[in-house]
A and B are shown apart, each in its own frame.
Chain A
Amino acid sequence: MHIVALGLNHQTAPVATRERLAFKAEELPEVLQRLKDEAQLSEALILSTCNRVELYGICNSLESCHERLIKFLADFHQIEATDFVDNLYFHTDSDAIHHGFRVASSLDSMVVGEPQILGQFKDAFAIASAEASTGLILNRFMHRSFFIAKEVRTQTKIASNAVSVSFAAVELAKKIFGDLNDMKVMLIGAGEMCELAARHFINQGVEQVLVTNRTLSRAQQLADEFSGIALPFDIFRGHLDQVDIILSSTGAPDFIIGPDEMAKALKKRRNRPMFLIDIAVPRDIDPKVNELDNIYLFDVDDLQDVVTENLDQRRNEAKHAEELVSREVEKFEQWLASLSVTPTIKQLREQVLQIGNQELNKTLAGFSDLSPKDEQRLKAMVNAISNKFLHHPINYLKVKNDNGDTMPATTIREIFKLDEEDKKINS
């Protein structure tokens, strides 16, 4: 019994290859069944996102498992295996467990610590388990993965700092104002990044959004979207003093806001601090503005530096997370090992009882005057003998297994010829 994981991700394959091998969510139920049949897996799960396509499965023998999985992908998507085989990674047993845990914990993500992958993994598992294509092992594997992902998130700061320019702006605003509840935001221009940042600010509960644009209709449109107020472009300077946060991203070739306007605005608002975010290239706001007291100006490079710094921190935190994951892989392997002893005990019991019952039936055939009660007694005796006979070996197996020693289980299987291949040789 082995866990296998085969797939490709943003590091090993270009998007062109990833999209050709991707699976649609609605076709997954059918695909999972095919995968189990064609690759001879007892359990299977498919994780398909824009950054990765991965097949997880349980197979009895590793022999040619790799090839069967590749063939399945090639057949299903009707592509030549040679087109993508170099982009694939194939992990087995502890490596496969390790890989799955890392993916769920977002350690293998393009942006380390991003939260989406866990949700995608959970969805993939929900589909697979609804189709009953996962069983004892993959179920436990997935539950463990999700648990570890949560542990990583809470015990390390892997996801604590903004790694997008727009969210970095929100975090900085919090470091200036504390909370953003009573803040007013002005959007100058309608760049995509500006809009995104505005959305983040609204999620943080800012009170009001003012929007201005050279085309008033565009400003109105955005203002409606944020239930804010649109301002004609030629009068926005008169409202600078009313807002705490300014997001600017116009296509203007020169500065549209200079230190004089800001000094005036500051005076009008009695020096209450202002946070200016200039996402435009070329810049909209004269950098001299940052020299004014109580004004904090960040341009796109400054924000990018913040993001880079935060990414570094995440990578640092990832080291702690990797340690946590490695510990969990060990634990999971122990659980897997304990599995092999349970079927061994079960088979051993069945085999001994079977022999006992065979002999009992032979003996009973020779009697003609036994009462049903006597027959019951003989059966009970056979049961008792097999139980007592097996008591010590089973205990021995359990104790050894608890100590992490799985050798006795293998030995017992050999001695009693519990495996099918062995039985065939015997008969």
Chain B
Amino acid sequence: MTTIYLALLSGALGLYTLSMVTGFFHLFQPRPQKTLWCKRFILAGASLHLLAFLERCFQAQTLAVTNLHESLSFFALLLGLAFLLIGRKIPLPTLGAFISPLLVVFTLWALATTHTISPQPPILRSFWLPLHVLLSFAGNAFLVLGCIISVMYLLQEHLIKKKQIKGIFRNLPALQKLDESSYLCLRCGFPLLTLGIISGSVWASFAWGSHWSWDPKETWSLITWLLFAALLHGRMNSGWRGRKASFLTIIGFAAIMFTFLGVNLMLSGLHSYAAH
């Protein structure tokens, strides 16, 4: 059965790669054109990816996010879905060109790590675990998407300030749309992350008897959460937007990446992938 799973996942990787190629083509060509294909490839890739994930969950009889391989793959899937969702609300041509490389990297990395199904310690089995994982991952996916959009914002902002009205400028979306869409990602991602942390805390009290044990992942989640809370507050109440908000979003991205991967790969704690 793993062959079907791997085939689906590889198919998704292929489609993500195609979306990256078409995305770059649209981004760098001097004659702006409709960027439909890039998005279609991501849609097709994410569909295969979703099938692969469901197959995996069926095999593991649980939400299959237990080791590094599954986490990377699941994150890529959610990032792709977040991209498609946000795109329905605020269409951003050429965003696909910036998102698809991440999808490719994460999926490729997932395929390169051991993909055996890790047996779950009985202590972790609970209704709260999948909920915690799903919410945290979804929150992070939106926040990472917002960060990519902020990178595009800074790029376009720089080009307009420096009056470089040519080349890639023509193919990048309008500043205001980028800013709005980054804000939208924050408003979607932050509540999900908050709920993710709360559900994790509830589950922790069942599993370990304490809500919060200050293990590195928890500490870093809190740091990330505080960063985005500050950003959301600034955006809502203090008129933070544009460059300032974009820089903060990117710092937030670094925090997410460290919480998500850095902590697991460099520090050890309760959240280590299949370390038990």
Chain A residues proximal to chain B, CB less than 8 Å: 156-157, 160-161, 172, 174-178, 267, 270-273, 290, 293-294, 296, 298, 302, 305-306, 309, 313, 316-317
A161 to B243: give the CA distance in the assembly, Å: 27
Q: Is the CB of B163 within 8 A of A272?
A: no
Q: Which residues of A contact B175 (CB under 8 A)?
A: 175-178, 273
Q: Is the CB of B163 within 8 A of A305?
A: yes
Q: Which residues of B contact A302 (CB under 8 A)?
A: 163
- Stretch of B20-28, B36-44, B118-126, B234-242 at the chain-chain interface: B234-242
Q: Is the CB of B240 within 8 A of A271?
A: yes
B230 within 8 A of partner (CB):
no
- Residue in contact with A176 in the complex, picked from B32, B166, B170, B174, CB distance below 8 Å: B174
Q: Which residues of B contact A270 (CB under 8 A)?
A: 238-239, 241
**Those of B141-195 within 8 Å (CB) of chain A:** 156, 160-161, 163, 165-166, 169-170, 173-177
B244 within 8 A of partner (CB):
yes
A-B contact pairs, 22 of them (CB 8 A): A157-B32, A172-B160, A172-B165, A174-B174, A177-B174, A177-B176, A178-B173, A178-B177, A271-B239, A271-B240, A271-B241, A272-B239, A273-B176, A290-B161, A293-B243, A293-B244, A294-B242, A294-B243, A305-B165, A306-B163, A313-B166, A317-B31
**Those of B226-271 within 8 Å (CB) of chain A:** 238-244
- Residue in contact with B242 in the complex, picked from A161, A175, A178, A273, CB distance below 8 Å: A273
CB-based closest 6 A-B pairs: A270-B239, A178-B174, A178-B177, A271-B239, A306-B165, A294-B242
CB distance from B156 to the nearest CB of A (A): 8
A296 to B30: give the CA distance in the assembly, Å: 24
A302 to B159: give the CA distance in the assembly, Å: 13
Interface centre among B165, B173, B176, B238 (most CB of A within 10 A): B165
**Those of B1-38 within 8 Å (CB) of chain A:** 30-32
CB distance from A294 to the nearest CB of B (A): 5
Q: Is the CB of A309 within 8 A of B166?
A: yes
Q: Is the CB of B174 within 8 A of A296?
A: no
Q: Which residues of A contact B160 (CB under 8 A)?
A: 172, 175-176, 296
Q: Which residues of A contact B163 (CB under 8 A)?
A: 298, 302, 305-306
Interface centre among B31, B163, B166 (most CB of A within 10 A): B163
Known: A157-B31, A175-B174, A178-B176. A294 touches B169 (CB 8 A): no
CB distance from B204 to the nearest CB of A (A): 40
Known: A178-B177, A305-B165, A309-B165. A293 touches B242 (CB 8 A): yes
CB distance from A299 to the nearest CB of B (A): 10
Q: Is the CB of A296 within 8 A of B161?
A: yes
Q: Which residues of A contact B242 (CB under 8 A)?
A: 271, 273, 293-294
CB distance from B135 to the nearest CB of A (A): 31
Further 9 A-B residue pairs, CB within 8 A, beyond A177-B176, A271-B242 = A156-B31, A174-B174, A175-B156, A176-B176, A270-B241, A294-B242, A296-B160, A313-B30, A317-B31
Q: Is the CB of A272 within 8 A of B241?
A: yes
A120 to B174: give the CA distance in the assembly, Å: 35
Q: Which residues of A contact B174 (CB under 8 A)?
A: 174-178
A178 to B176: give the CA distance in the assembly, Å: 6
Q: Which residue of A lies closest to B160 (CB)?
A: A296
Q: Which residue of B lies closest to A320 (CB)?
A: B31
Q: Which residues of B contact A156 (CB under 8 A)?
A: 31
Q: Which residues of B contact A313 (CB under 8 A)?
A: 30, 166
Q: Which residues of B contact A296 (CB under 8 A)?
A: 160-161
A309 to B169: give the CA distance in the assembly, Å: 12
A189 to B24: give the CA distance in the assembly, Å: 44
A176 to B170: give the CA distance in the assembly, Å: 12
A131 to B75: give the CA distance in the assembly, Å: 72
Q: Which residues of A contact B240 (CB under 8 A)?
A: 271
Q: Which residues of B contact A306 (CB under 8 A)?
A: 163, 165
Q: Which residue of B lies closest to A297 (CB)?
A: B161
Q: Which residues of B contact A175 (CB under 8 A)?
A: 156, 160, 169, 174-175
Q: Which residue of B lies closest to A269 (CB)?
A: B239
A156 to B176: give the CA distance in the assembly, Å: 28
Q: Which residues of A contact B243 (CB under 8 A)?
A: 293-294
Q: Which residues of A contact B31 (CB under 8 A)?
A: 156-157, 317
A293 to B174: give the CA distance in the assembly, Å: 16
Q: Which residue of B lies closest to A307 (CB)?
A: B165
A273 to B160: give the CA distance in the assembly, Å: 12
Q: Which residues of A contact B176 (CB under 8 A)?
A: 176-178, 273
Q: Which residues of B contact A178 (CB under 8 A)?
A: 173-177
CB distance from A326 to the nearest CB of B (A): 20
